[in-house]
Structure 1
């Protein structure tokens, strides 16, 4: 992974040896030899790890550490102390230093400490990445998405209470229901507790009860030990019941009782256990219709649907497609190390005229594929899935066929035949049908845009 490291050490040979040692371990390392320059470097490079000698010319190491931590409270540090200078070490630890090492420096111990810091930073980066993803993938300036964000903000305020309302998130597959559920949890007062995701459709019917409610030892054959269920595991946190429309009808009553009473009973037990859960459910099914058909309990539906969040399909918020596309392009270009600056105009037109049955998830997937295949600065239609291109070409704003065959035959029979005139007529007709759009006209003619421009520039057909 590698860290950005600043070494502040006035013994130049030692400082340069540390730089070589760290760079061989894959860390980006900068070295300076006094405290004043060290503080300037902290401001300039914002390192993840500071290695500093306690005794420095100019600003001392302890003072530097104090000011550096004020600039960046998340800065990790290891201090070097002279043999027997325990006061410096104690002061450094009080200031939040990760640890200290006495000189002469034991490189093996230093490497072990840095490995621990590296693992902590890696975990923090992952958490920051997923938190950022949850926030950024819920993007879009459409009225529908503005309302979703407003509802989330209201729910976050309500969740400060010990008993936040149950939430039902509805929407088609791929609209981002899990993203919303995780975002609600992360912004709530329960964010430091468990978020348990239960996909109801993936659990076999005969295991749902055991998985959710748990069992006692000897409750059934093979139950050698007691096991808490997922509802207990989510105590004081959030339980996300994904695909709730597929929850077995024979267990819906028990789930309803648990939600209302805030108590669960393990299989084989005679004792109820109190639980404190925030229940968030999601479905792509019409639960009202299922309730009318008898496959979903109406009372459970009412209990789950205290607050509802509807995530519209992408085809109902086409004005968000360009913004989402550019977000996913930046994300995947960075992920795969590609220098791709954007999309050709017809790509966004393609996206905006496609119905996206897989919604945001499908859009993300298509752009990831395009980024992988693109070796240019811009993503063009040739990098996009063939199904999307075909539908684009068949859209109503590109008339197909653009020349009626009977009219073409009639024209050929009644006019003196000339290949130049025939080519010119085709080009003029294509440009008229596409209102002068060279890319679309070239696509109708089955030629490249450059070829079309070349033929026009060479005056290959006469004007009227």
Structure 2
């Protein structure tokens, strides 16, 4: 996105020539002939960069620098003057200037300074949101699971990552919708662009519009300064709208317009701001039914579901539980400073047999509790909540449990075979069974062994 530049200079010819020069390089320019009108424009439009002369009638350039620090703190100021001295430069920097140039201006130097400022601002925004994301999500977030269902999700992510089209992720609470959104962003834009996540259900109703689109100073009580919304902050990257089904109905037309036009106007503002973002939305609600009920706009629904990804609940991909447990335990051990390295078979059986209405999030909470109670390097059945321990009673075994045990056995055998390089004799030895027993179980479990080593 090109930088917005405000030029404040009392010399009309210089001011207009500079604007023409910058616009030829793709920058968007506004001009002001004095400090007062320049400050008013800065208040209204929050430019990325302000170029101001020092020696002007009325408000001096140094006063402009000083007042901009409060009026438009996100604007970087470059002081341009024909009356340069070391003392003047030091004074300008003390008042908040980002850089200093002497007239006559060398165009290449000016372009380079503006672009450097623009890149620094982008990095500052990204660092801020990455820090918040890391604090909220914890270390090591990735898409975990080798089941057919998750393999299909992973394949779809690879196919759509580079496209700018909106994506709608559907799934129960705790299935990992934000993890999928981050995976799409990472594969498409990598670390070059911001990823901004917004929980629509947590937006205060009276401030939702301001959070999304930003506001101008004085737009409402408490708006003491200009503030960008998440659309502006995510510009050039991805905006993840979680729980999109909770978006207030009266805000949905404005959201649709922002998505379609790729620009927003701050609350109380007068000029639109370009916001090229990729929209990824997610919900655990039936948006189609909400459309029929009149609680969600049909046009917005079709706009955000250009690509649709459906995440299966954990109970429908039980074979992923061992891999998830391993991944989550490593994360939790790091955070809790524990050294649990294994899960006993009885505990794994009940974890695989559970229905997990809260999905991966519930699994993580159960494992965190178990880790706190664990007193060695192995997580055992006794460390799990009582309702899980009861489910291991063989007299109450269900079809789900038998299926889970079968899936766990298949997963374990496959891992041992891979560790043995496909050598079935060696795998049988590591498993403590006869090779003939291993061959039979491979056939019964319909396993395809990896490429064999020498038997």
* Partner residue, 1:252: 252
SS at match of 1:235: coil
Determine the C-alpha separation between the residues in 1 that align with 2:332 and 2:138.
17
Shift of 1:353: 1.6
Determine the C-alpha separation between the residues in 2 that align with 1:301 and 1:394.
48
Equivalent of 1:146, from 129, 148, 151? 151
Distance of aligned partners of 1:220 and 1:336 in 2 relative to their CA distance in 1, 3 Å threshold: closer
Determine the C-alpha separation between the residues in 2 that align with 1:337 and 1:211.
37
Equivalent of 2:141, from 118, 131, 134? 134
* Partner residue, 1:180: 180
* Partner residue, 1:99: none
- CA displacement, residues 256-302 of structure 1 (integer Å, 9 cap, x when unaligned): 01111112111122322221001111111111111111110111010
Determine the C-alpha separation between the residues in 2 that align with 1:223 and 1:335.
39
Q: Is the 8 A contact 1:190 1:238 kept in 2?
A: no
Determine the C-alpha separation between the residues in 1 that align with 2:192 and 2:337.
34
Determine the C-alpha separation between the residues in 2 that align with 1:258 and 1:398.
51
1:241 aligns with 2:241: yes
Q: How does 1:23-422 map to 2 (within 5 A)?
A: 133-135=140-142, 138-158=143-163, 164-189=164-189, 191-393=191-393, 396-397=396-397
- CA displacement, residues 200-257 of structure 1 (integer Å, 9 cap, x when unaligned): 0111111101111112222223333222211111111111111101000011011001
Q: Is the 8 A contact 2:162 2:187 kept in 1?
A: no
Using CA pairs under 8 Å that are at least 6 residues apart, name the structure with larger relative contact order, 1 or 2.
2
Determine the C-alpha separation between the residues in 2 that align with 1:394 and 1:280.
45
* TM-score (norm. length: structure 1): 0.54
Determine the C-alpha separation between the residues in 2 that align with 1:398 and 1:279.
43
Shift of 1:371: 1.8
Gaps of 5+ in 2: 1-126, 400-455
Determine the C-alpha separation between the residues in 2 that align with 1:174 and 1:316.
14
Q: Is the 8 A contact 2:153 2:311 kept in 1?
A: yes
- CA displacement, residues 359-380 of structure 1 (integer Å, 9 cap, x when unaligned): 1111112112212211134222
Distance of aligned partners of 1:239 and 1:376 in 2 relative to their CA distance in 1, 3 Å threshold: same
Determine the C-alpha separation between the residues in 2 that align with 1:362 and 1:344.
20
Q: Is the 8 A contact 1:240 1:280 kept in 2?
A: yes
Shift of 1:131: 9.9
Determine the C-alpha separation between the residues in 1 that align with 2:190 and 2:319.
34
Distance of aligned partners of 1:370 and 1:250 in 2 relative to their CA distance in 1, 3 Å threshold: same
Determine the C-alpha separation between the residues in 2 that align with 1:351 and 1:200.
32
Shift of 1:334: 4.5
Distance of aligned partners of 1:353 and 1:228 in 2 relative to their CA distance in 1, 3 Å threshold: same
Shift of 1:307: 0.8
Gaps of 5+ in 1: 1-119, 159-163, 400-464
Determine the C-alpha separation between the residues in 2 that align with 1:131 and 1:371.
17
- CA displacement, residues 59-87 of structure 1 (integer Å, 9 cap, x when unaligned): xxxxxxxxxxxxxxxxxxxxxxxxxxxxx
Determine the C-alpha separation between the residues in 1 that align with 2:179 and 2:362.
15
Determine the C-alpha separation between the residues in 2 that align with 1:156 and 1:240.
14
* TM-score (norm. length: structure 2): 0.55
Determine the C-alpha separation between the residues in 1 that align with 2:138 and 2:361.
18
Determine the C-alpha separation between the residues in 1 that align with 2:395 and 2:283.
32
Determine the C-alpha separation between the residues in 2 that align with 1:211 and 1:339.
42
Determine the C-alpha separation between the residues in 2 that align with 1:395 and 1:170.
37
Shift of 1:152: 1.1
Determine the C-alpha separation between the residues in 2 that align with 1:230 and 1:211.
6
Determine the C-alpha separation between the residues in 2 that align with 1:326 and 1:194.
30
Distance of aligned partners of 1:257 and 1:384 in 2 relative to their CA distance in 1, 3 Å threshold: same
Determine the C-alpha separation between the residues in 1 that align with 2:338 and 2:268.
57
More deviation, 218-227/144-153: 218-227
Distance of aligned partners of 1:343 and 1:272 in 2 relative to their CA distance in 1, 3 Å threshold: same
Q: Is the 8 A contact 1:197 1:240 kept in 2?
A: yes
Q: Is the 8 A contact 2:213 2:230 kept in 1?
A: yes
